[in-house]
Structure 1
Amino acid sequence: MIHEITVEELLELQRKGEAAFIDVRSPSEFQESTIPDSVNIPIFTDEERAEIGTLYKQVSVDAAKDRGLEIVSAKLPSFVRSISGTEHRRKVVFCWRGGMRSRTSATLASLMGLQMYKLNGGFRAYRKWVVETLESFGELPPCYVINGYTGTGKTELLQRLEKLGYPVLNFEEMAQHRGSIFGHIGLAPSNQKSFESALVHQLLRWKEAPYLIMEAESKRVGKAVLPEFVVRGKEQGKALFIEMPVAQRVANIMADYKPEEHKDDCLNSFKHIEKRIHTPVAAEIRQALEQGRYETAVELLLTYYYDSRYQHATDRYENDRVTIQAKDVDDALQQLVKQLPPPPGRYQ
């Protein structure tokens, strides 16, 4: 038997951790955006989907259905095994509109004795819910905004605060981007749809929290753009400025970015800002990158580029700010905790 569920029912199952969520769309559709915590078990590959679509448009609906049945029949045993191997007894499948792909998948798996659910309206219905939910948000509660020059470990501090039970919105983690011209290195940046999905779930998770903690990001983080109500909350928040010795900031960046593993990406990214830096210094940075002297390159970039660019952030929060002098990230965390209200507990 196949149970049809709404987006709201899916979210409740997700909140309770009571179901596996299976995106049966093609790999490229899944890669573009999906429901958080879903796994991709495609009923058709990208090439098979394109072939069926061509038959549908250029030949006939029946020809497309026949070819689809032929493809699915050949992969049925492995397809059902893959669904069966996911966690949880309940399995929720979805495609783009909640149509033939998810209905076929749910039917085949249910015939094998699996407890199957199909999302009404598919991913399109979920995406509609994301957009409408973000549009309906009012103002954020009071915000504490962690600020500081590049390399002060702001993202790591957010991660550690969240583990301690503090209500955190980690935009860089959601965007899979560190926010700088080098921010994509070693990561797979999220597009706007994926970012908004992650954001709306975090906002709902902390909807009863009396305050939020976030980083002083710009409006754009990688490929993602923050909603206006989030930008307002950030700009109106209380700024906690982290100051740290340059040598420690260089060490933090080296540990995070691992430039020795991404030499070409580092050089390619540097090209985008090279002309903005005084020519002799830019030449020295390029030479250091080419020769693998990354600590030298990072220190020069901090001194002659990033620190001056981020000075405006200091001025913006001049009226409501606390400066924290820290020797390293551990020290910064201890001092941050003293500036924050007690953690309100974990909201699910």
Structure 2
Amino acid sequence: MFQDITLEELRALKNRKQMTVIDVRSPSEFQDSTLPDSLNIPFFDDQERAEVGTLYKQVSVHAAKERGLEIVSAKLPTFIKEFGAIEGDKAVFCWRGGMRSRTTATVLSLMDIHAYRLIGGYKAYRKWVLESLDTYDFKPKSYVIHGYTGTGKTNLLHRLKNLGHPILDLEGLAGHRGSIFGQIGLHANNQKTFDALLLEELIALEPSPYVLFEAESKRIGKIVMPQFLAHQKEIGTQIWIELPMESRVQQILEDYKPEQFKEQYITAFHNIKSRIHIPIAAEIEQNLQADMFGEAVALLLEYYYDPKYEHSSNQYEDIEKIIISVNNLDEAEAAVLSYLNDVNSQNT
């Protein structure tokens, strides 16, 4: 027989042993939001779920269960085989720990495949995420990386992470670079996925004495940062990276790859075109059309992004800053490492 477990018990089990968490909801539900690192083996596909749901609402519970049994019976061998191919312990969940996960765990137990079932399903997990973020006590010291667009702040964070420093990549968690062009070439996450990924990262970073992250605006694409992170951005140690224009342009070309997504960038540019002086806006669009991306980026920085950044950075005028003026990302990495080493040596 299967065993029901709470979310707390599931997380404890995952820390002690190999555990595969399996979402048996439909593919569209899984795509919308799920537990991080879970697999999707759907009990019903989207069309089947819609059919059973319609019977449940418009006919009767009995009719919905009968039709559900017909659907599942036809694909049961394949369904069980997928679970059987997964090594180690398994835990299943559905929307709220109801029929789909209960039936799955029961059928698997009949085939001598043991599976835990998450009590409350995804709904319980989402409730835990929201409550945890709402009351989260952020304890590590914050180092907040500032810099004009194209300074390579995210790349710098990744470099520091590769060297063992604790970082929080908010743009990576959002799947969005935070600008009007920020989603192009990426898969943007929704708020539910961002919240889940963020909480898991925060828990992993709890033993760290400090955390580095970028000075993002509260909204990154369609997601919104929790208030406690916005507060950390304000009270953390402010590290400002200054790079020359040519280095920033090159960094943007490397990150955004305009030659691969030209039409998407032109379409996105139309959303901000009216906010730029008409002659400059026309020149930017001509450069984009002519594949003169470096020239277009330089104009966008000078006449759109830099003025915007200067305006938003006015709130930090009276805050102490560590200003690092360098020529490229290699020098920025070396300077930040030197600063962190100095600070850490003073604190030990």
Fold conserved between structures, TM > 0.5: yes
Is 1:340 the counterpart of 2:336? The answer is no
Stretch deviating more after TM superposition (323-332 or 181-190): 323-332
User: In the alignment, what sits opposite 1:58?
Assistant: 58
Q: Deviations over 1:51-100 (max 9, x none)?
A: 000111111212111111111112222222222334x4111111001111
TM-score by length of 1: 0.93
Percent identity, aligned pairs only, is: 52
Paired position in structure 1 for 2:38: 38
Q: What does the per-residue CA deviation read over 1:175-211, in whole Å, with 9 as the maximum and x for residues that have no partner?
A: 1100001101011211111111111111111223222
Q: CA deviation at 1:12?
A: 2.2
Structure 1 window deviating more from structure 2 (145-154 vs 130-139): it is 130-139
1:192–1:327 CA distance, 2 compared to 1 (3 A): same
| Aligned residue in 1 for 2:324 | 324
8 Å Cα contact 1:140-1:230 kept in structure 2? no
Matched, 1:97 2:87: no
Task: Give SS of 1:195's match.
Answer: helix
Structure 2 counterpart of 1:261? 260
SS in 1 for 2:115: strand
The equivalent of 2:82 in structure 1 is 82
In the superposition, relative to structure 1, how do residues 78 and 217 fare at CA in structure 2: closer, same or farther (>3 Å)? Answer: same
Q: For residue 92 of structure 2, give the secondary structure of its aligned residue in structure 1.
A: strand
What letter corresponds to residue 111 of structure 2 in structure 1?
A: M
Q: Give the Cα separation in 1 of the matches to 2:14 and 2:339.
A: 34
Tell me the CA shift for residue 140 of structure 1: 4.2
Deviation at 1:135, TM superposition (A): 1.6
Q: Distance in 2 between matches of 1:73 and 1:6?
A: 29
1:112 deviates by 2.8
Secondary structure of residue in 2 paired with 1:259:
coil
Aligned residue type for 1:67: R
TM-superposed CA distance for 1:292, in Å, is 2.2
The AA in structure 1 aligned to 2:73 is S
Residue 165 of structure 1 contacts residue 343 of structure 1 at CA under 8 Å; is this kept in 2?
no
Q: Residues 9-24 of structure 1: matches in 2 within 5 Å?
A: 9-16=9-16, 18-24=18-24
1:190 — aligned with what? 189
CA distances 1:294-327 after superposition (whole Å, capped 9, x unpaired):
2221111111111111113543334311111222
Mean Cα deviation higher: 315-324 or 129-138:
315-324
CA deviation vs aligned residue, 1:78-137 (integer Å, no higher than 9, x gap): 222222334x41111110011111111222223333231110000000111111111221
CA distance in 2, matches of 1:330, 1:54: 59
> Residue 47 of structure 2 aligns with which residue?
47
Partner of 1:150: 149
Q: Give the superposition deviation at 1:343.
A: 11
Amino acid at match of 1:111: L
Are 1:235 and 2:248 an aligned pair? Answer: no
How many Å separate the matches in 2 of 1:249 and 1:133? 38
Question: Structure 2 counterpart of 1:82, which letter?
Answer: E
Q: Is 1:114 matched with 2:104?
A: no
Q: Which residue of 2 aligns with 1:135?
A: 134
> What secondary structure sits across from 1:261 in the alignment?
coil
Which residue does the alignment assign to 2:125? 126
Secondary structure at the counterpart of residue 71 of structure 2: helix
Q: Distance in 1 between matches of 2:334 and 2:297?
A: 26
Unmatched 5+ stretches in structure 2: none
Counterpart amino acid of residue 175 in structure 1: A
Whether the 8 Å contact between 1:219 and 1:226 is mirrored in structure 2 is yes
Instruction: Give the aligned residue type for 1:184.
Output: Q
Report SS of the residue matched to 1:133.
helix
C-alpha change, 1:138 and 1:281, in structure 2 (3 Å) is same
State the one-letter code of the partner of 2:4: E
Paired position in structure 2 for 1:279: 278
TM-score (norm 2): 0.93
Query: Relative to structure 1, is the Cα distance of residues 128 and 112 closer, same or farther in structure 2, using a 3 angstrom cutoff?
Result: same
